[in-house]
Amino acid sequence: MGTEALSVRMPKLSSSRPLLETARRSGLAVAALNFYNAETLIAHVRAARALNASIILQTTESTINYLGLPMIVGMANAAAEEIEQAVSLHLDHGGSYELAARCIDRGYTSVMIDGSKLSFSENCALTRRVSELAHAHGVSVEGELGHVTHNDESVGDDIARFYTRPEDAAQFVAETDVDALAVAIGTAHGFYKGEVRLDFDRLKQIRTSVGETALVLHGGSGVPEHLLRRAIQCGISKINFGTELKDAFTRAVKTSFSTSDDIDLRRTFAPAIAAVQEISQAKIRICSERQ
């Protein structure tokens, strides 16, 4: 019996930096989509394939605790094999150096370290440590300056005190060597309770102050399309989406259970996958297609 060479497929996941650089130079952005289980991941894969687009797949620490790093990385690598364009696996809102290190060690290609609630000097020091480790392994790093609040937080009338200052952004980027910077200009995490107001003048100033560093907008869910497009025009290269995706999935599953006694989860989850895919495609279009 003859022997055949074993074909080994290498992981396709990319660091996020080349995706963001391409988007920035093109005046576009990359949609960063959080996933929570196999079904939401399938939805994002189908959306990216339908539009032949690059995406950034994201998980928070809560999802890591739920699925485990080996499962997440394995799923993301499998997903990347099904998408023609480059895909990155990103840690969203990493809360510690140790978590970022674990993700880097396991195969994440991009990590965020969120020191936004620390003092400026402490945030710089923590982010710089993560950058040094990540860059040594070819992994991209995102930091956050200013504080993107949650809609459930009580922040009073002076929300602008949480916003990113352009002069601080320039110093932060210089001291930390981050590849991307999440900025606070008026967005928030969770469901918005009133009109969304974004400080585009501030964003333009930050864009100028940080040179070629990519800028990230958190709290993209619920922001009207025209504001997202304007944010991209003003220099945003990555927009995060999570809340709308979870909401669409949960609503569809509830409907499935309320209208049928079918216990086949593949049929129960099918409408939920379709609902998330529809939103994912809409967000990818906003980010990657010109008006």
Q: Which of 92, 114, 179, 199 is catalytic?
A: 92
Give per-residue pLDDT as tens, 22-33: 999 999 999 999
**189 lies in which domain range?**
16-288
- The answer to whether position 107 is within a domain reads yes
- The answer to whether position 133 is within a domain reads yes
Percent of the chain at pLDDT > 90 equals 79
pLDDT of 187 reads 78
Q: 92 an active-site residue? A: yes
State the Cα–Cα distance between residues 166 and 182, nearest whole angstrom.
12
Give the confidence band of 5 by pLDDT, cuts at 50, 70, 90.
very low
State the Cα–Cα distance between residues 212 and 122, nearest whole angstrom.
24
pLDDT of 189 reads 72
- Per-residue pLDDT, averaged over 272-282, amounts to 98
User: CATH number of the domain that 144 lies in?
Assistant: 3.20.20.70
Residue 189: φ, ψ to 5° = -85, 150
- The answer to whether position 81 is within a domain reads yes
State the Cα–Cα distance between residues 216 and 287, nearest whole angstrom.
12
What 3-state class would DSSP assign to 34? strand
What 3-state class would DSSP assign to 228? helix
Domains in the chain: how many in total? 1
Which among 288, 286, 280 has a CA at the least distance from the CA of 46? 280
- Token pair of 270, please? 């099918």
Question: pTM for this one?
Answer: 0.91
State the Cα–Cα distance between residues 130 and 123, nearest whole angstrom.
11
- Per-residue pLDDT, averaged over 91-109, amounts to 98
- The answer to whether position 5 is within a domain reads no
Give per-residue pLDDT as tens, 166-199: 999 999 999 999 999 999 998 777 666 678 889 9
Average pLDDT score over the chain? 91
pLDDT of 4 reads 46
